[in-house]
Amino acid sequence: MHEYSIVQSLLESCEEQARQNEANKITKVVVKIGVLSGVEPDLLQTAFDTFKEQTICHDAEFIINLQEIEILCNDCNIKSTLQKHEFSCPNCQSINLKVTDGEDMYLMSLEMD
């Protein structure tokens, strides 16, 4: 389960941001997870809840925003969001696509005290 190592890195980033901002605790952590990232949101939540104890995030609310697959069609130049994992342009049905979002995980924001 790579979610545990992801959470360890996330908590380290939170600690570093808190130090840089002279904060005593983090009250909210917001992440964005792309549906193609390979990260399982439920497992990530469980890992965060497990490892946040004894850290600056011990009372933090953990918010996960799921990012759908966004594509740019190289044939008709239309940006679209795919509702299914059918990799074809909804406008022209081309498969000549570039994925522009939905493959990564990002730390979007922190709330600190």
pLDDT digits (tens, 9 = 90+) for 47-101: 999 999 999 999 999 999 999 999 999 999 999 999 877 889 999 999 999 999 9
pLDDT value of residue 83: 81
Q: What is the pTM of this model?
A: 0.86
What are residue 62's DSSP bridge partners? 29
Please, what's the largest Cα pairwise distance for the chain?
53
Report the number of distinct structural domains present in the chain.
1
- Calpha distance 101→69 (Å, rounded): 6
Name the residue among 42, 50, 55, 41 with its Cα closest to residue 13: 55
CB atoms within 10 A of CB 62: 17
CATH code of 37's domain = 3.30.2320.80
Domain span at residue 63 reads 3-112
